[in-house]
Amino acid sequence: MLSSDIADDLTSVLYTEAEIHARIAQLARSIEADYEGEDLLLVGVLKGAVMVMADLARELTLPLNMDWMAVSSYGAGTQSSGVVRILKDLDSDLSGRKVLIVEDIIDSGLTLSWLLGNLRTRGAASVEICALFRKPEAAKVEVDVRYVGFEIPNDFVVGYGLDYAERYRNLRDVAVLAPHVYS
């Protein structure tokens, strides 16, 4: 149950927790088929991907490692600046590793295209992307994403790790943020 002041900030639920879990299970089956017998490294992008990472990693039956990176391309607002800074780097050496970046959402694509370029200079055997959400209408650069959970309209969404000004990450469902919150 949401408190009524949180409910007032949301216009509609886009995907429920159950729908998200079901889709993550499907993605996990594809990933297992593609990485069978490989030594997989999941790289979660903090902080938004925490929930996706936790559910995807537990759904996967492959042996795997998890590592985390934090980058910033957004201030407190809803627009990507395109300028990416590393706030926390990986602990792992990527040499020869099969890397799968786990992301919450691809909006303009600027963050991930930068991250992909950065990780590809570190000697990994492969670098692929799994993103729970993608907004095709918002794309400013094309990013080759191997696994996409849901394609969604160009609305600002929160919940299941996704925030607005660091709020709403703990909502179980993913919902559209009401414009009155950010305008």
- Which positions are annotated as active-site residues? 107
Q: Using the minimum distance from each CB to ligand XMP, give the nearer residue, 39 or 182.
A: 182
CA distances for 43 relative to 30, 47, 81, 109, 116, angstroms: 17, 12, 22, 17, 11
- Residues 36, 42, 45, CA angle at the centre, nearest 5°? 155
- Spatial distance between the Cα atoms of 5 and 7, rounded to a whole number of angstroms: 5
Which of 14, 99, 100, 105 is close enough to bind ligand XMP by CB under 6 A? 105
**Does position 163 bind ligand XMP by CB under 6 A?**
yes
Which stretch in 10-18, 32-40, 86-94, 110-118 sits in contact with ligand XMP by CB under 6 A?
Answer: 110-118
- Spatial distance between the Cα atoms of 91 and 93, rounded to a whole number of angstroms: 7
Query: Per DSSP, which regions of 2-125 are E strands?
Result: 10-15, 40-46, 64-72, 85-88, 98-106
Q: Which does 108 bind (CB under 5 to 8 A by kind): Mg ion, ligand XMP, none?
A: ligand XMP
Size of the chain in residues: 183
- Spatial distance between the Cα atoms of 126 and 97, rounded to a whole number of angstroms: 7
The number of angstroms, rounded, from the C-alpha of 103 to the middle of its chain's C-alpha atoms is 2
Show the site string, 115-154: x = touches ligand XMP by CB under 6 A, - = not. ----------------------------------------
Q: Using the minimum distance from each CB to Mg ion, give the nearer residue, 61 or 182.
A: 182
Which stretch in 5-13, 14-22, 88-96, 160-168 sits in contact with ligand XMP by CB under 6 A?
Answer: 160-168
Q: Which does 162 bind (CB under 5 to 8 A by kind): Mg ion, ligand XMP, none?
A: ligand XMP
Interacting residue ranges for ligand XMP, rule: CB under 6 A: 48, 73-74, 80, 103-112, 156-158, 162-164
